[in-house]
């Protein structure tokens, strides 16, 4: 029997102010909400003097993807991942590539419904190694994501957060303690870019990256979407790569991906392949060992090489693995050096396909 899930799930990370408003303490916006008012993310609201999450149990849809699409190149390569998102976002990126989901205000009548264990069970039944919280930012549906992560771990399924990393220190430890891997969108390396094109601040994202790398067990990879003439100058790319190398280490994978005209930046041209190749060279020259290009066919830009001897260990073209040479421990067959990441026995890769599936919320037996 199908069930209607409540649209007023209690939220964490808030407190009441002296003037009667509520302050949301989940992200660095610290929204102050009057009765009935929603936060900038649109999904957290003041309902009768308590903060509620309106999208708990609701999704914009479920798909099975290759893990490389997240993108994660050093986290169980070739495996499949059950992916989903909800609605809303706590950033306001003018270039959003998923704006129909993240900026939606009419999702309630469109969304699938699923309890946490429904999702974990679906991942298990479909042979998915992981569940990914993606498409919009899982920080804003943190309570739902954490409940799902607990259910997944109970069934031996790992969890992945694809996020902008815009979260407060207060909530960060709880949220990421439930995640096994994260790909963080580092939108640019410019405070002005974040303010003007994202309506946010850069420093909290950098703080999240440092915390993830040095104070958590989460496997971390980073993605920067390169937008022509906005965040692709040599100087900015050098500064970004040097910061990653210095603050996070030279083996944190960095992905440069191609922008396509969308949302409020349809007048900006798509990223040419040479820009991605130039960014990759700059990051490698800065000392980073694992730099990738994305959203393009580029086998060299998708290849993982041994950090010590340079041997090609995983050859990819977009989301397709063409050759895999690591052993079950993730070691290079030539020099024995272990590749940074999370690896295990490698079988037949899932491939580049994307498979939509349906999950329905059911009443407990």
d(CA 100, CA 98): 6
Compute the chain's Rg from CA coordinates: 20
Helix (H/G/I), strand (E/B), else coil: 23: strand
On whether the CB atoms of residues 161 and 185 are closer than 8 A, the answer is: no
Q: How many helices (H) and strands (E) does the chain have?
A: 9, 20
**What does residue 38 show for φ and ψ, rounded to 5 degrees?**
-100, 155
Given this model, what pLDDT does residue 1 score? 39
d(CA 117, CA 131): 12
Given this model, what pLDDT does residue 361 score? 57
Contacts of 357 (CB under 8 A, 6+ apart): 62, 63, 64, 82, 122, 126
CA dihedral 59, 63, 66, 69 (to 10 degrees): -50
Which residues is 219 bridged to in the sheet?
181
Contacts of 18 (CB under 8 A, 6+ apart): none
d(CA 171, CA 45): 17
Given this model, what pLDDT does residue 4 score? 63
Given this model, what pLDDT does residue 113 score? 86
CA atoms within 13 A on the CB side of 33: 28
Q: What is the largest CA-CA distance in the chain?
A: 66
Spell out the per-residue pLDDT of the chain, length 365, in tens.
Answer: 355 666 689 999 999 999 999 999 999 999 999 999 999 999 999 999 999 999 999 888 899 999 999 999 999 999 999 999 998 999 999 988 765 665 555 555 446 789 999 999 999 999 999 999 999 999 999 999 999 999 999 999 999 999 999 999 999 999 999 999 999 999 999 999 999 999 999 999 999 999 999 999 999 999 999 999 999 999 999 999 999 999 999 999 999 999 988 766 789 999 999 999 999 999 999 999 999 999 899 999 999 999 999 999 999 999 999 999 999 899 999 999 999 999 999 999 999 999 999 986 554 43
Q: Can you list the alpha helix ranges (DSSP code H) found in the chain?
A: 99-102, 116-125, 142-154, 169-177, 191-193, 203-215, 234-247, 273-285, 299-302
Given this model, what pLDDT does residue 262 score? 74
On whether the CB atoms of residues 77 and 67 are closer than 8 A, the answer is: yes
Is this prediction's pTM over 0.85? yes
d(CA 36, CA 45): 6
Given this model, what pLDDT does residue 106 score? 52
Closest-CA residue to 54 (of 93, 106, 117, 14) = 106
Indicate the pairing of strand 80-85 with strand 130-133. Answer: parallel
d(CA 174, CA 160): 14
On whether the CB atoms of residues 140 and 170 are closer than 8 A, the answer is: no
CA atoms within 13 A on the CB side of 43: 36
d(CA 226, CA 184): 14
Residue 24, token pair as written in the block:
């949301």
């Amino acid at each position: 029997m199908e069930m209607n899930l409540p649209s007023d799930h209690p939220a964490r990370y808030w407190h009441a102010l002296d003037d009667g408003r509520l302050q949301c303490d989940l992200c660095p916006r610290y929204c102050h909400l009057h009765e009935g008012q929603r936060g900038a993310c649109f999904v957290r609201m003041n309902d009768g003097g308590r903060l509620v999450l309106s999208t708990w149990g609701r999704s914009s849809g479920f798909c099975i993807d290759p893990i490389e699409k997240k993108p994660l190149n050093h986290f169980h390569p070739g495996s499949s991942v059950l992916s989903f998102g909800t609605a809303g976002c706590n950033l306001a990126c003018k270039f959003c590539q998923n704006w129909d989901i993240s900026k939606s205000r009419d999702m309630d009548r469109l969304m699938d419904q699923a309890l946490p264990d429904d999702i974990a069970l679906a991942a298990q039944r479909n042979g998915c190694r992981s569940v990914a919280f993606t498409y919009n930012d899982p920080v804003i549906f943190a309570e739902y994501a954490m409940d799902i992560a607990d259910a997944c771990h109970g069934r031996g399924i790992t969890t992945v957060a694809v996020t902008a990393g815009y979260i407060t220190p207060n909530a960060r430890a709880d949220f990421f303690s439930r995640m096994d891997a994260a790909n963080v969108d580092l939108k640019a390396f410019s405070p002005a870019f974040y303010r003007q094109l994202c309506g946010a601040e850069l420093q909290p994202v950098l703080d999240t990256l440092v915390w993830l790398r040095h104070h958590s067990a989460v496997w971390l990879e980073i993605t920067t979407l390169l937008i022509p003439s906005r965040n692709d100058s040599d100087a900015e790319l050098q500064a970004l790569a040097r910061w990653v190398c210095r603050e996070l280490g030279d083996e944190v994978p960095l992905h440069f991906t191609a922008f396509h005209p969308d949302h409020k930046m349809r007048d900006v041209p798509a990223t040419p392949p040479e820009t991605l190749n130039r960014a990759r060279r700059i990051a490698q020259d800065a000392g980073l060992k694992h730099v990738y290009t994305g959203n393009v066919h580029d086998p060299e830009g998708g290849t993982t090489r041994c950090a010590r001897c340079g041997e090609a260990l995983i050859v990819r073209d977009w989301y397709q693995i063409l050759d895999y040479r690591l052993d079950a421990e993730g070691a290079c067959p030539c020099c024995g050096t272990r590749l940074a990441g999370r690896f295990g026995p490698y079988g037949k890769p899932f491939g580049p396909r994307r498979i939509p599936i349906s999950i329905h919320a059911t009443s407990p037996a």
